[in-house]
């Protein structure tokens, strides 16, 4: 029997959201490159009181061709022992832990502590410094580093953070575009299905709504000229991980009720296609971030991006000329949005996105990490 090349540990199907979707995509791309891949996903990821959303699970069907076991419990030490023994029996060449919150460090460290030395232990890091830091983050991150052989990243910002921490063996990667995404449809068709006005520019703010994402600054920007003097509208699409009331009060205070669409729920693939195909600009007015899964979505649907001056977000925008970069100042956000809505600028950005998208495939990412891991482990 062929030895498992890569055992991927972390949220995958049946979990929903960007981490799980990209875990599935990584597995599929490794398989397409003739690697034997197995996935362990969680049967229990968070206690319910730590999860503010409606559900952690997807309504989509299981991706075909993936060997997924739902067997890991993130806060049950007896389960960690059982999983470690099972991994030793499988004896993969590489085990890749998906690391996006320090809350997983103790679970992962405990499993690695029991694993055979010959199994190379890799961390694929989405976030190293959390968006909403806690006093225990540094301790838990250091705990993880005691057992990891190499690190993979999806942005140069994470790479810089890890290199700064120590002389780690780190791969500087990029955030690929998911292969299962539907293609862009015409703006008129998408807006007709959403019952949105076809004759106005639409700015899209998409994804889970959390304070660090700067929706408040974007709303204030919409009350400032020149965007306030235009007929542009703002579409806010995503599940709110904090009280929606504070944003509704801000909208009322700024008298923006007629300029805002709010769709306060998690968007499935079909809805995502409609929202992005309807939009003229994607706004990433984040106050802090190391990367964003919204960026590859924007590239897939060929929508120009306005992002704040954060390394993990601005680097591909600057390199690819796929949008503009601004500060967190609402006045500047307003001016930059208006600039992006001019036909000449918009066409320029869309052309650049089309030219750049080909290099952000999961197959290209997987080829690079295979080469990196085989050379460095």
Averaged pLDDT, 144-153: 95
102 and 13 in contact (C-beta within 8 Å)? no
Rounded distance between C-alpha atoms, residue 152 and residue 99, angstroms: 10
pLDDT reported for residue 325:
97
CATH of domain 187-358: 3.40.50.2000
* Local confidence band at 377 (pLDDT 50, 70, 90 cut-offs): confident
**Tell me, which fold does domain 6-177+361-376 have in CATH?**
Rossmann fold (3.40.50)
Can 6-177+361-376 and 187-358 be said to share one CATH topology? Answer: yes
pLDDT reported for residue 17:
83
* Apex 154 CA angle, 20 and 280, nearest 5: 80
* Local confidence band at 2 (pLDDT 50, 70, 90 cut-offs): confident
pLDDT reported for residue 90:
96
pTM: 0.89
Backbone phi and psi for residue 133, each to the nearest 5 degrees, phi listed first: -60, 150
Secondary structure element (H or E) that encloses residue 152, with its range: strand 150-153
Q: How much is the mean pLDDT over the chain?
A: 93
Bridging pattern class, strands 233-237 and 202-206:
parallel
Averaged pLDDT, 304-330: 95
* Local confidence band at 316 (pLDDT 50, 70, 90 cut-offs): very high
CB count in 10 Å sphere of residue 132 = 9
pLDDT reported for residue 237:
97
* Local confidence band at 241 (pLDDT 50, 70, 90 cut-offs): confident
* DSSP per-residue codes, 39-75: EEEEEE-S-GGG--SS-SB-SSPPPTT--EEEEEETT
CB count in 10 Å sphere of residue 349 = 23
pLDDT reported for residue 1:
64
310 and 289 in contact (C-beta within 8 Å)? yes
- Sorted by where each begins, the domain ranges of the chain are 6-177+361-376, 187-358
Long-range contacts of 50-58 (CB under 8 A, 24+ apart): 52/241, 52/242, 53/208, 53/239, 53/241, 53/266, 54/239, 54/265, 54/266, 55/16, 56/15, 56/16, 57/14, 57/15, 57/16, 58/13, 58/14, 58/15, 58/16, 58/20
pLDDT at position 53 over 70:
no
* Local confidence band at 156 (pLDDT 50, 70, 90 cut-offs): confident
* DSSP per-residue codes, 217-262: HHHHHHTSTTGGGS--EEEEES-BSS-THHHHHHHHHTT-GGGEEE
* Cα dihedral: 116, 122, 127, 133 (round 10): 30
- The proportion of the chain whose per-residue pLDDT surpasses 70, expressed as a percent, equals 96
Secondary structure element (H or E) that encloses residue 192, with its range: helix 187-194
pLDDT reported for residue 285:
97
pLDDT reported for residue 91:
97
Which DSSP state fits 15? B
pLDDT reported for residue 52:
57
pLDDT reported for residue 203:
98
Q: Based on C-alpha coordinates, what's the Rg of the chain?
A: 21
**What tens digit of pLDDT does each residue of 170-229 get?**
999 999 999 999 999 999 999 999 999 999 999 999 999 999 999 999 999 999 999 999
């Amino acid at each position: 029997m062929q030895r498992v090349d890569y055992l991927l540990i972390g949220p995958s199907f049946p979990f929903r959201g960007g981490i799980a979707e990209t875990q599935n995509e990584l597995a599929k791309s490794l398989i397409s490159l003739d690697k034997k891949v197995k996935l362990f996903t969680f049967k229990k990821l968070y206690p319910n009181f730590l999860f503010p959303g409606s559900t952690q699970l997807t309504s989509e069907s299981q991706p075909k061709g993936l060997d997924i076991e739902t067997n890991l419990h993130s806060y049950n030490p007896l389960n960690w022992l059982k999983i470690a023994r099972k991994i030793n029996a499988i004896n993969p060449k590489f085990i890749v832990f998906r690391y996006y919150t320090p809350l997983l460090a103790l679970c992962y460290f405990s499993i690695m502590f029991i694993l055979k030395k010959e199994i190379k232990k890799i961390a694929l890091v989405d976030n190293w410094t959390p968006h909403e830091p806690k006093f225990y983050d540094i301790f838990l991150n250091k705990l993880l580093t005691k057992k990891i052989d190499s690190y993979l990243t999806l942005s140069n910002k994470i790479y810089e953070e890890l290199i700064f921490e120590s002389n780690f063996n780190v791969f500087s990667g990029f955030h690929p575009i998911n292969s299962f995404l539907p293609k862009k449809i015409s703006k008129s068709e998408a807006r007709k299905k959403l019952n949105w006005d076809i004759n106005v520019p639409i700015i899209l703010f998409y994804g889970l709504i959390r304070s660090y994402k700067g929706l408040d600054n974007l709303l204030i920007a919409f009350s400032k000229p020149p965007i306030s003097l235009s007929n542009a509208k703002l579409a806010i699409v995503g599940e709110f991980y904090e009280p929606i009331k504070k944003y509704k009060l801000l909208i009322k205070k700024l008298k923006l009720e007629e300029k805002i669409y709010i769709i306060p729920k998690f968007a499935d693939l079909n809805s995502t296609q409609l929202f992005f195909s309807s939009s003229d600009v994607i706004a990433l007015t984040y106050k802090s971030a190391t990367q964003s899964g919204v960026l590859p979505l924007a590239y897939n649907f060929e929508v120009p991006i306005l992002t704040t001056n954060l390394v993990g977000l601005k680097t591909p925008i600057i390199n690819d000329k796929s949008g503009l970069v601004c500060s967190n100042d609402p006045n500047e956000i307003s001016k930059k949005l208006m600039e992006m809505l001019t036909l000449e600028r918009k066409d320029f950005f869309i052309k650049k996105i089309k030219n750049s998208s080909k290099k952000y495939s999961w197959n290209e990412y997987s080829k690079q990490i295979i080469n990196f891991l085989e050379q460095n482990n």
